[in-house]
Amino acid sequence: MTPEPPGAAEEGPRRASGAGGLLRKRWVRLVGTLVVTGGAAAYIVSKIDLGRTAHTIGDASLGWLALSAVLTLVTVPPQAFRWKLLLGARGIDEPVGWLTRAYFVSYAVGQVLPTGVGGDASRIFETTRRHPGSGSPVSGSVILERAIGGAVTLVLAAIGFVIAIGRYPIGAYLWVEAVFVLGTVGAGIVVFSAGLRRHLKLAVPLLQRLRVERPIRAVYEGIHGYRHHVRTLLTVSMITTAAQISRIFAIWAGGRSVGVELSVGPYIVLGPLLFLVMLAPFTPNGLGVREAFFISFLGQLGISHDAAFATGFLFFVMTLLLALPGLAVLLWEGLRRTPAPAANA
């Protein structure tokens, strides 16, 4: 009889324990999602009149909606070019056309997976398949792109902070933005500083116990490698700023379509906070959380809860509009894909 290799007897229980832990995490995530979604839904129902809200949305101005749609859609090709620059800095060449397609597909995927996280995973997966062995730089480019987006969002939030002081009664939101700004500055120093790099090894034992050391190391190396590409990072930041401003004006136009007579000023505060809220994977596509945020924020500015909900709902409609091209691509590619031949018996 062939003796079992050392540790073989322990391997089965270890695998079973790992599978059990994964199942528990999934249940915790599912329960958490249901609790957050249910709480947001209850808050919304307690604040709005469904009949009046439906009437408000039905009477939305088509002209303002068209402007909101244009301001939303025009941001995608520049974002694809931004991603091309980040990939190119790490020696990965992709045409803007394919990257634009990948972006639209990611928006479609993001409708069923938690917020933008699912879309980011889609872009990483598709690009890595086209460039085997480039998982670290590809994931680094996507995560850095997301991080730059968050940093630019917070710069705009800081501008909104200055604009809002003494003008809008939204003090609590302003302090939340201030905390995020400080956190982003600290994270940027940790990720890009060569001097701090040697001290990060102190966290390795903890990360290994949590079984996240390898993916975090891959992401860190993927992002840290950009510290020598300052010009690329500045260009990407400018493109991101333009895209974020366009999205803020798109939200403003959506609000105008349902009679929210506010200037762009409050939206410079609202937009960055909303983008940060949408980054957190609370619910699929931010369902409920997004609308509750609009009701809470705009309600403090004297806007009716029905109109505030309608503004948030129309922002959701614009995210669906972004997903339609990606859905069409997935359906077309699925129809063109020939089935694998059956194996011979």
What DSSP letter does each residue of 203-250 carry, written as one string? GHHHHHHTT-HHHHHHHHHHHHGGGG-HHHHHHHHHHHHHHHHHHHHH
Residue 344 lies in a domain: no
Which tokens belong to 264?
Answer: 């762009």
Q: What is the pLDDT of residue 90?
A: 84
Q: What is the pLDDT of residue 310?
A: 93
Give the range of the structural domain holding residue 199, as residue numbers without chain letter: 77-331
Contact 151, 236 (CB under 8 A): no
Q: What is the pLDDT of residue 77?
A: 95
Q: What is the pLDDT of residue 287?
A: 72
Helical pair 305-336 and 96-109, crossing angle rounded to 10 deg: 120
**Angstrom distance (rounded) from CA 224 to CA 221:** 5
Residue 338 lies in a domain: no
Residue 192 lies in a domain: yes
Residue 11 lies in a domain: no
- Provide the residue-wise pLDDT of the chain in tens; the chain has 345 residues: 555 555 555 555 555 555 555 566 667 766 767 777 788 788 888 888 889 999 999 999 999 999 999 999 999 999 999 999 999 988 899 999 999 999 999 988 877 765 556 688 889 999 999 998 888 788 888 888 887 887 787 777 777 767 766 666 555 555 665 666 666 666 666 665 666 666 666 666 766 676 666 666 666 665 666 667 778 888 998 999 999 899 999 999 999 999 999 888 888 877 777 776 666 656 666 677 888 888 988 888 889 999 999 999 999 899 889 999 999 998 888 887 654 444 343
Residue 139 lies in a domain: yes
Residue 212 lies in a domain: yes
Taking only the tens place, the pLDDT of each residue in 17-26 is 555 555 666 6
Residue 224 lies in a domain: yes
**Angstrom distance (rounded) from CA 77 to CA 229:** 22
Which tokens belong to 1?
Answer: 């009889």
For 137, list phi and psi in degrees, rounded to 5. Answer: -65, -35
Q: What is the pLDDT of residue 177?
A: 59
Residue 35 lies in a domain: no
Q: What is the pLDDT of residue 196?
A: 64
Domain count within the chain: 1
